[in-house]
A and B are shown apart, each in its own frame.
Chain A
Amino acid sequence: MPTILFYVKVATKNALFVLTMLFVLFFTYNVYPSLQTAVNTFVSFYVFSMIGFHLFLITIATYVMQRNESDVLRYLERNPVKKQFQFLTASMIVSLAVALVPVTLMVLLTNELTSSAFLWKEIAHFVIIWLLSSLLAAVIGSSVSMLVKSKFAYVVSLVIYGLFVWMSFQLPTTPLHRYMNPFDNNMYLRPNHLSGVLWNVDYVFDKIFLLLIVVLLLSFVAFSVSVSSKGKWTGLVTFVVALVSLWLLPSFSPIAPVSSKADSTGADHVPYSIETYEMDVTLTNTLRNTATLTFHVTEPTEAVRLRLDDVFSIEEVEVNGEKVSFTHEDGILDLAVKRDVGEPLVVTVQYEGVVELIDSIGFSTYYVTKRAINLPGVYFDWYPTVESNDPIHFEVDVHSSAPLYSNLDSSEPGHWSGVATSVNVFAGQYESFHSDGVTFIIPTSVRPDAFIARFQSFVDETIKKGRFTERERSILEEKTYERVIVAIWPFQANEHLIEIVGDTMFVYYDE
């Protein structure tokens, strides 16, 4: 420990550290107002402060490791691998101390609507990003300088680090893209900036990826500079394991891309329609549902095809109380069931799945967590359904610890019912207010006045573009909608940013 504290002094008792701190403070001062939106908004703006601090770490790491050109230091600090580990520990201590600046502001100035539990989670998230990215920078600087024993090491370090910076500014279209960004992990749920999920499997993968890069660099250095055969073998084996793991990890990413809504079930016209729909839905970190569909058969049929997203695993299907075999692929649940006109047809589907879907540019779209839910049934087949615009009578029992919002009416706690073309469910830190006889349900991170102002203007613009049906245009112009709910869907699904389902309008709004 004393030698580690010595390296802390070496790292901080110089003009470069003073300049770095001035830059961090300057940048913090410029972006702290974003804390009024959400901590994660602040963190996304804080990236340049992180980069500035990392440039300091790379420079000081290169300098310290290259001091072994001095004979007395080469004699005293004769194990370069041990010295590197001690210096990296010192770097983490310095990093943690510098992080106190933004963390203090987070505690003091964050949006007062943030719950304290979530605030500390976000602070933990920021500290993890800060420390892990700082570790990466220090490892790059110290490792390169042990291999490139000249001033050229500074250039090589900056080029390698620059690769990560460049990747962080690209759209995260693949898991590799996401994992290569050390400044964020796109785990925040739009528009629930104040209740987004933080720790899930993909989050862990994201951090493991960066740690594997660190291990890769350290093991390569250990292999290169070790004089003992044991050290060389350890370095080599670790390097190979890290390399293979890095190559494989992105392919195991549990985050699924949003599949485009399944093509029609294969017929211009289906020989059955849904009369009633009962659901018993449990929403935790998974979605579990027992859906019972009562059909009216209008023509003889030898199959029933329903749309249900591939993210779900179907446990069993019953037709008229008897189990049947089925196939479920490409978003279509296929049942080989023969029915004549008028024969009873009741299909019960029991299924479950983890809903964490991202759009084509890597941002969260559909999700179900204990605290935040975005399930726009109008775009996402989260329950078995048919291609039809006919309204259906829904009776839905829903179990969730989060307060829920829907286009259906809640006749009693935990139960919704109503006639609609789709069931849409949302939860998060939402607030509800009334304006001109309309109930608005928007995330608490959104300012109501700003939302109302923007809402009215783009409704007006949307009407002018004239891409709605007559019925929808009538609803918009006559303002006969009763409810407005903020939701998120893939941008390409509906560029209007407005969707009308019965008496509910859904608005795509993300600050």
Chain B
Amino acid sequence: MTNRLSVEDVSFSYGRKEVLDRISFTAENGIVALLGNNGAGKTTLMNVLTGLKRPQAGRMTLNGSDVLGANTYPIEQVGYLPQHFDVYPNITGYDFLSFVYDLKKGTRADKKKQIDELVERFHLQSVIHKNVRHYSGGFKRRLGIAQAVLGYPPLIIIDEPTVGLDPEQRIEFRKHLSDMSRESITLISTHIIEDVELFSDQIIVLKDRSIVFDGSVDEIIGMSRSNIHVVETTRERLPELAERVTVIEEKRIDHDTIRVKYIGGEAVEASEFDKEITLENAYVYLQKR
């Protein structure tokens, strides 16, 4: 089944300080990456879309149903994993998943089967019957994903999923991301591009309270390609170059050679190198232009 999310003109302010300005986008099944620097409004947008904050204006519909305007926010339709996943420490992971399942009003007949499936899928077997206080950061994150996916909701919202994880745990998370059901819309907000680069179907970039890009990975890269240049320079000459252009990537080739990607400024020597533009390059271009 194809699910459809529509966010229309969502605005939010803290008092007089405007944080979100008429945010609008649509999404269907797949992974939607919401990118933006710290303070861009990603977490606020997540809070609004999960009903934890009430917007001053705007609407969110999921498969045609108004989510934000409902009497009771449909948590069975929207799974949520916040940046800080903190639950009752003296409860086992199984008890917590059982609790979440009941809150999402799942049927009793399917409860054990669903929970066992998720325990296996996210490799929680060794800890699921232990108290959550004994979980490592990685296991906590997996438990968090499992509770968000529980009930197989059409929309899953994940806020900064890899903050605080070590590189190995981040790689593991990306693997779980790819395992997530293709039958739901997974909206992930992050400022760590490499976490979503491989698997994102849609990229939304947030800057200065608004969306500055909404499209595919290929589109954002294509859009930025002609504006990103590559040159090699030395370590000694790098500072001088940086004064003339906006450097967006530095990559060490050998002891004294650095390949630099830059935007804007006075053109330097013509690039003779393949412009391997990454998503991160394109994202930085959007942020800095």
Q: Establish whether residues A70 and B83, one from each chain, have CB atoms under 8 Å apart when the complex forms.
A: no
**Which interface class (under 10, 10 to 19, 20 to 34, 35 or more) fits A?**
10 to 19
Q: Residue B81 at the A interface, CB < 8 A?
A: yes
Which residue of A is nearest B101, CB measured?
A2
Query: A70 and B87 in contact (CB under 8 A), knowing A75-B52, A78-B73?
Result: yes
Q: Establish whether residues A6 and B82, one from each chain, have CB atoms under 8 Å apart when the complex forms.
A: no
Q: Establish whether residues A71 and B83, one from each chain, have CB atoms under 8 Å apart when the complex forms.
A: yes
Query: A13 and B100 in contact (CB under 8 A), knowing A72-B80, A72-B82?
Result: no
Which residue of B is nearest A17, CB measured?
B90
A13, B92: Cα distance in complex, Å: 10
Q: Residue A479 at the B interface, CB < 8 A?
A: no
Which residue of A is nearest B99, CB measured?
A6
Which chain A residues in 60-106 approach chain B with CB under 8 Å?
A: 67, 70-79
A77, B99: Cα distance in complex, Å: 10
Query: A72 and B102 in contact (CB under 8 A), knowing A6-B95, A9-B91, A9-B95?
Result: no
The listed residue (B52, B84, B91) touching A10 by CB distance below 8 A is B91
Which chain B residues in 38-74 approach chain A with CB under 8 Å?
A: 50-52, 54, 72-73
For the complex formed, measure the closest distance between the CB of B278 and the CB atoms of chain A, giving whole angstroms: 31
Q: Is the interface of A mostly helix, strand, loop or mixed?
A: helix
Q: Establish whether residues B52 and A76, one from each chain, have CB atoms under 8 Å apart when the complex forms.
A: no
Query: A72 and B85 in contact (CB under 8 A), knowing A2-B98, A3-B102?
Result: yes
Q: Residue A435 at the B interface, CB < 8 A?
A: no
Which chain B residues in 68-119 approach chain A with CB under 8 Å?
A: 72-73, 75, 80-88, 90-91, 95, 98-100, 102-103
Interface flags, B123-154, vs A, CB<8A=1, else 0: 00000000100000000000010010000000
A2, B104: Cα distance in complex, Å: 12
A394, B85: Cα distance in complex, Å: 84
A449, B82: Cα distance in complex, Å: 73
For the complex formed, measure the closest distance between the CB of A232 and the CB atoms of chain B, giving whole angstroms: 15
For the complex formed, measure the closest distance between the CB of B16 and the CB atoms of chain A, giving whole angstroms: 22
Q: Residue A389 at the B interface, CB < 8 A?
A: no
A74, B86: Cα distance in complex, Å: 10
For the complex formed, measure the closest distance between the CB of B142 and the CB atoms of chain A, giving whole angstroms: 14
Which residue of B is nearest A63, CB measured?
B88
The listed residue (B75, B83, B90, B98) touching A75 by CB distance below 8 A is B75
Binding site for B on A (CB under 8 A): 2-3, 6, 9-10, 13-14, 67, 70-79, 227
In the A-B complex, the 7 residue pairs with the closest CB atoms: A71-B82, A70-B86, A2-B102, A6-B99, A13-B90, A14-B90, A75-B80
12 extra A-B contacts, CB within 8 A, seeds A9-B91, A13-B91, A14-B90: A2-B99, A9-B95, A13-B131, A72-B80, A72-B81, A72-B85, A72-B144, A75-B50, A75-B52, A75-B82, A78-B52, A78-B75
Cross-chain pairs A/B with CB under 8 angstroms, 12 sampled = A6-B98, A9-B91, A70-B84, A71-B83, A71-B85, A72-B80, A73-B86, A75-B80, A76-B100, A76-B103, A79-B72, A227-B54
